[in-house]
């Protein structure tokens, strides 16, 4: 089988490496000829909007998937008329618009921070008064890693946000003083079977994920998260891996956003789980039984943002699983991650500071 | 960095997958355009004897290595005049000739079964009388997976072996009624540092490896094996991964043969060890610090010979790490392996029979 992937970044790269273990082949599509996925798999260079590369992808692949939610949903629908596509294009449509996404959560009874849409400055001012300050103003479309977001603390900030975000279709939501950020990752198979990873505790800096650590499968928040992600997966008749990001406030989950794909916070699973999120995504879309999501090793994932420590430095430290994406460093760019693994929690804690120090010294922000 | 690999089979394929984690690039050379390594890395199709593809490999790679010991050592020397090559070409020269290999072991004081060379039928008869029957007659060159071998139990068998093996340069060695077969795998760095994997217990059928299981790092045979492999590595000023295969007879090691490369019996390390043999090979040749060879999960590797169970069947069983090489099945052909992993020895024993049954049903022999 050949899997065609829309997107040739690191997620496509790691998806290809998982598919290879199963003996499958992969072809990637990306407008950037330097895409790091192209170092490990054939890369078709083309724009999402052009039918020619899409047709080539549908011809070369037995199934099409994506690694990037800002692929135009029209591209996914164009492909869905020609070849099997998973996850369903509707998941892209929903995830690409923060308003549709929030409305879906509301419809499914999944609590979110209070939010309002706004398409004019007047609407934004009214909405700000309704949700209360501080709040976060976000563009409805094309935001990721903190881009397209503006924190507002005063009426003046509201006007500034309107200008800063380009007077686009916006959403304003109440700023939540959260205790913790966690993500729920699950794979859903064609037959509706769901494999849920344990909740992952995340920490961000500069709007970008820095550290992820899988929690216990019996974490008290796990049943609530399972209920919520099952609702989204079922509603979308989803096939593949989906991620929900949550704020934890007073022991309750408030959903922040969804990603209809494998997720940075699940990278620990490559080295730490019985089945990685990438393999379970591949299994799901190929209609194979899903694998156990159990955590087998104590582990923490550290993102390398802007730059990466040298392999020589990382290789000298025990328990470091290096994932260098082969990308050139530049400010804010995810160039790799390192998962620190150990057989015991104490060993992990002993190993972590040295790796963290290396990663911090090489990263920006 | 780009690593050029002589050989595009599954060992080159898995070497590429290890190099990708470190952000490195790979190019393979193989005469077979269908080589399974070519599914995951750029493949130059060409004969080892032709200077043009070798020159291309030296141009495209920062360092050249090999995954296959029957690459002509002249090819390795041609490359060594142009680019860094590791392991040293002398290791190929030695490993390609069973007589040179045995002579090296003898010179280094590493016990082997009694052996004699023979280049005529008369010599073979005399040699058979000297080493005693039963014995194994082997071609000096180009043997692997039991090919080029003939067991002799009587004087008539000696004449038959001479004819069956094509009247070539031969070696006859005493047939050893061994208690166990084990292999020692170690990586040696440019600075002489050695990382030794625990001994692996192997079982063969039809001359082909079927099952490998890492032993405890404190196995009573480990110090003897370490002494022997260190001698070979040091003598050859070796860089990269090297394997020695041993017979265990009465609690003593008798060396059978060496492979100047990553080895089938080390495949468990991809899923079971802190650092896989493939990554340690890449680390060694790139002059990076070697990684821990500690076994982190209980595991057994099962080879798939001739055919492989379906992914659907394997994915349904817990703890199965699938490695399908993307090769078509044919008798005697290694088409993949499965490593069964578990957190405890008891869990591994519980998981193993179902996977073993699937693999046996799909394999030949």
The DSSP bridge partners found for residue A258 are A244
Distance CA(B28)–CA(B13), nearest Å, equals 9
Distance CA(A27)–CA(A37), nearest Å, equals 9
Instruction: Work out the mean pLDDT of chain B and round it to a whole number.
Output: 95
Tell me the nearest-neighbour CA distance from A12 into chain B, angstroms. Answer: 13
Distance CA(B193)–CA(B179), nearest Å, equals 32
pLDDT tens for residues B336-365? 999 999 999 999 999 999 999 999 999 987
Residues 6 or more apart from B81 whose CB is under 8 A from it?
A: none
Question: Is the pLDDT confidence value at A144 over 90?
Answer: no
* φ, ψ dihedrals at A210, nearest 5°: -115, -40
Please tell me whether residues B188 and B169 are part of one structural domain: no
Closest-approach residue (CA) in chain B for A276:
B321
Look at the block and give the residue holding tokens 């050029």: B4
pLDDT tens for residues B181-203? 999 999 999 999 999 999 999 99
As a whole number of angstroms, the longest Cα–Cα distance in chain B is 58
Closest-approach residue (CA) in chain A for B344:
A296
Q: Collapse the DSSP code of A138 into the 3-class scheme (helix H, G, I; strand E, B; otherwise coil) and give the result.
A: strand
In a domain, A93, yes or no: no
Look at the block and give the residue holding tokens 């990637």: A28
Please tell me whether residues B285 and B358 are part of one structural domain: yes
**What is the predicted pLDDT for the residue at B11?**
98
Residue where a domain terminates, one of A174, A192, A212: A174
**What is the predicted pLDDT for the residue at A142?**
74
Please tell me whether residues A18 and A154 are part of one structural domain: no
Residue where a domain terminates, one of B43, B69, B85: B85
Interchain proximity A315–B290, CB inside 8 Å:
yes
Start-to-end CA distance of chain B, whole Å, equals: 42
In a domain, B219, yes or no: yes
Distance CA(A89)–CA(A68), nearest Å, equals 12
Interchain proximity A311–B286, CB inside 8 Å:
yes
- Whether the CA torsion B157, B158, B162, B165 is positive or negative: it is positive
What's the average model confidence in pLDDT over A299-305?
98
What CATH number is given to the structural domain containing B221?
3.30.470.20
What CATH number is given to the structural domain containing B144?
3.30.1490.20
A contact set with B (CB within 8 A): 13, 16-17, 20-25, 39-41, 274, 283, 286-292, 296-297, 308, 311-312, 315-316, 318-319, 321-326, 336, 341, 343
Number of domains in chain A: 3
pLDDT tens for residues A180-192? 999 999 999 999 9
As a whole number of angstroms, the longest Cα–Cα distance in chain A is 58
Helix (H) or strand (E) holding B188: strand B180-188
Contact list in B for residue A41 (CB cut-off 8 A) is 40
What's the average model confidence in pLDDT over A146-171?
86
**What is the predicted pLDDT for the residue at B144?**
62
Please tell me whether residues B42 and B148 are part of one structural domain: no
Distances (CA, A) of B46 to B51, B52, B60, B122: 9, 8, 15, 40
Contact list in A for residue B312 (CB cut-off 8 A) is 287-289
Indicate the pLDDT class of residue B226, thresholds 50, 70 and 90. very high
Structure tokens at A249: 């406030």
Pairing verdict, β A240-249 and A180-188: antiparallel
Tell me the nearest-neighbour CA distance from B229 into chain A, angstroms. Answer: 23
**What is the predicted pLDDT for the residue at B22?**
98
Q: Collapse the DSSP code of A182 into the 3-class scheme (helix H, G, I; strand E, B; otherwise coil) and give the result.
A: strand
Please tell me whether residues B274 and B321 are part of one structural domain: yes
Structure tokens at A113: 């921070």
Distance CA(B51)–CA(B77), nearest Å, equals 11
Structure tokens at A152: 């507002």
Contact list in B for residue A341 (CB cut-off 8 A) is 274, 296
Distance CA(B188)–CA(B87), nearest Å, equals 9
Question: Is the pLDDT confidence value at A233 over 70?
Answer: yes
Distance CA(A106)–CA(A100), nearest Å, equals 10
What's the average model confidence in pLDDT over A147-173?
87
Question: Is the pLDDT confidence value at A143 over 70?
Answer: no
Distance CA(A283)–CA(A21), nearest Å, equals 11
Best of B18, B22, B270 to mutate (most A CBs within 10 Å, chain A): B22
**What is the predicted pLDDT for the residue at B3?**
98
The answer to whether the beta carbons of residues B26 and B5 sit under 8 Å apart is: yes
Domain extent at residue A200: 180-362
Look at the block and give the residue holding tokens 């990708």: B20
Interchain proximity A40–B40, CB inside 8 Å:
yes
Interchain proximity B288–A17, CB inside 8 Å:
no
What CATH number is given to the structural domain containing B34?
3.40.50.20
Best of B3, B16, B21 to mutate (most A CBs within 10 Å, chain A): B21
**What is the predicted pLDDT for the residue at A87?**
97
What's the average model confidence in pLDDT over B231-253?
98
- Residue B289 burial (C-beta neighbours within 10 Å; 0-12, 13-18, 19+): middle
Please tell me whether residues A38 and A122 are part of one structural domain: no
**What is the predicted pLDDT for the residue at A155?**
87
Tell me the nearest-neighbour CA distance from B66 into chain A, angstroms. Answer: 19
Interchain proximity B341–A13, CB inside 8 Å:
no
What's the average model confidence in pLDDT over A165-185?
91
Residue where a domain terminates, one of A149, A174, A199: A174
Please tell me whether residues A211 and A354 are part of one structural domain: yes
The answer to whether the beta carbons of residues B91 and B238 sit under 8 Å apart is: yes
Please tell me whether residues A243 and A130 are part of one structural domain: no
* φ, ψ dihedrals at A251, nearest 5°: 75, 10
Please tell me whether residues B208 and B278 are part of one structural domain: yes
Interchain proximity A21–B323, CB inside 8 Å:
yes
Distance CA(B156)–CA(B164), nearest Å, equals 12
Of B22, B40, B296, the CB nearest to A324: B22
pLDDT tens for residues A55-66? 999 999 999 999
pLDDT tens for residues B65-76? 999 888 888 888
Closest-approach residue (CA) in chain A for B39:
A25
Q: Collapse the DSSP code of A155 into the 3-class scheme (helix H, G, I; strand E, B; otherwise coil) and give the result.
A: helix
Closest-approach residue (CA) in chain A for B298:
A296
The DSSP bridge partners found for residue B170 are B118, B139
Interchain proximity B39–A25, CB inside 8 Å:
yes
Indicate the pLDDT class of residue A166, thresholds 50, 70 and 90. confident
Distance CA(B69)–CA(B54), nearest Å, equals 16
Of A13, A319, A336, the CB nearest to B274: A319
DSSP B295: B
Distance CA(A312)–CA(A291), nearest Å, equals 34
**What is the predicted pLDDT for the residue at B224?**
98
pLDDT tens for residues B68-106? 888 888 888 899 999 999 999 999 999 999 999 999 999
Interchain proximity B17–A17, CB inside 8 Å:
yes
Q: Collapse the DSSP code of A298 into the 3-class scheme (helix H, G, I; strand E, B; otherwise coil) and give the result.
A: strand
What's the average model confidence in pLDDT over A143-163?
83
Give me the percent of chain A exceeding a pLDDT of 70: 99
Count how many residues are written for chain B: 365
The DSSP bridge partners found for residue A149 are A138
- Whether the CA torsion A2, A294, B299, A343 is positive or negative: it is positive
**What is the predicted pLDDT for the residue at A119?**
93
Closest CA to B257 of B87, B112, B91: B112
Interchain proximity A290–B315, CB inside 8 Å:
yes
**What is the predicted pLDDT for the residue at A134?**
94
What is the DSSP track for A190-232?
A: TTS-EEEPPPEEEEEETTEEEEEEE--TT-TTHHHHHHHHHHH
Please tell me whether residues B269 and B341 are part of one structural domain: yes
In a domain, B90, yes or no: no
Distance CA(A138)–CA(A290), nearest Å, equals 36
ipTM for the whole complex: 0.95
Q: Collapse the DSSP code of B227 into the 3-class scheme (helix H, G, I; strand E, B; otherwise coil) and give the result.
A: helix
Global pTM reads: 0.96
In a domain, B222, yes or no: yes
Please tell me whether residues B126 and B204 are part of one structural domain: no
Of B25, B286, B319, the CB nearest to A39: B25
Contact list in B for residue A22 (CB cut-off 8 A) is 311, 322, 324
Distance CA(A106)–CA(A104), nearest Å, equals 5
Of A20, A312, A341, the CB nearest to B17: A20
In a domain, A335, yes or no: yes
Distance CA(B217)–CA(B226), nearest Å, equals 11
Helix (H) or strand (E) holding A29: strand A25-30
Indicate the pLDDT class of residue B164, thresholds 50, 70 and 90. confident
pLDDT tens for residues A311-350? 999 999 999 999 999 999 999 999 999 999 999 999 999 9
pLDDT tens for residues B133-163? 999 999 998 766 667 788 999 988 999 989 8
Distance CA(A2)–CA(A19), nearest Å, equals 9
pLDDT tens for residues A234-260? 999 999 999 999 999 999 999 999 999
Closest-approach residue (CA) in chain B for A340:
B274
**What is the predicted pLDDT for the residue at A146?**
62
Interchain proximity B326–A23, CB inside 8 Å:
yes
Distance CA(A121)–CA(A98), nearest Å, equals 18
Please tell me whether residues B158 and B22 are part of one structural domain: no
Indicate the pLDDT class of residue A168, thresholds 50, 70 and 90. confident
Q: Collapse the DSSP code of A52 into the 3-class scheme (helix H, G, I; strand E, B; otherwise coil) and give the result.
A: helix
**What is the predicted pLDDT for the residue at A207?**
84
Inter-chain CB pairs, A–B, below 8 Å: 93
Question: Is the pLDDT confidence value at B319 over 90?
Answer: yes
In a domain, A256, yes or no: yes
Closest-approach residue (CA) in chain A for B291:
A315
In a domain, A263, yes or no: yes
What's the average model confidence in pLDDT over A201-206?
94
Helix (H) or strand (E) holding B240: strand B240-249
Other C-beta atoms closer than 10 Å to the C-beta of A307 total 18
**What is the predicted pLDDT for the residue at A72?**
86
């Amino acid at each position: 089988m050949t899997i065609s992937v829309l997107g040739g970044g690191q997620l496509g790269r790691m998806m290809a490496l998982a598919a290879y273990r199963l003996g499958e082949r992969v072809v990637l599509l990306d407008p950037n000829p330097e895409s790091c996925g192209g170092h490990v798999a054939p890369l078709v260079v083309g724009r999402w909007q052009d039918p020619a590369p899409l047709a080539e992808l549908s011809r070369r692949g037995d199934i099409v998937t994506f690694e990037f939610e800002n692929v135009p949903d029209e591209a996914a629908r164009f492909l869905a008329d020609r070849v099997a596509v998973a996850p369903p294009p509707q998941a892209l449509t929903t995830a690409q618009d923060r308003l549709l996404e929030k409305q879906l959560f509301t419809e499914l009874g999944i609590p979110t921070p209070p939010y309002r849409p706004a398409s004019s400055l007047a609407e934004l001012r009214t909405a700000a008064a309704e949700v209360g300050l501080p709040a976060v103003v976000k563009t409805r479309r094309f935001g990721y890693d903190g881009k397209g977001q503006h924190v507002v603390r005063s009426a003046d900030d509201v006007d500034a946000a309107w200008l800063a975000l380009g007077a686009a279709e916006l959403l304003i939501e109440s700023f939540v003083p959260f205790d913790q950020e966690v993500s729920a990752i699950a794979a859903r198979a064609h037959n509706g079977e769901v494999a849920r990873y344990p909740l992952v505790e995340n920490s961000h800096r500069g709007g970008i994920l820095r550290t992820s650590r899988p929690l216990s499968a019996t974490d008290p928040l796990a049943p609530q998260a399972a209920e919520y992600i099952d609702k989204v997966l079922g509603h979308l008749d989803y096939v593949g891996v989906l991620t929900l990001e949550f704020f934890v406030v007073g022991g309750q989950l408030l959903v922040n956003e969804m990603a209809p794909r494998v997720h940075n916070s699940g990278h620990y699973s490559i080295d730490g789980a019985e089945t990685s999120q990438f393999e379970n995504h591949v299994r799901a879309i190929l209609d194979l039984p899903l694998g156990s999501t159990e955590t087998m090793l104590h582990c923490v994932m550290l993102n390398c943002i802007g730059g990466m420590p040298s392999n020589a430095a990382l290789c000298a430290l025990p328990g470091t699983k290096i994932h260098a994406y082969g990308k050139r460093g530049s400010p804010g760019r995810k160039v790799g991650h390192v998962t620190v693994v150990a057989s015991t929690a104490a060993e992990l804690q002993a190993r972590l500071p040295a790796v963290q120090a290396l990663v911090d010294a090489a990263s920006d922000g």
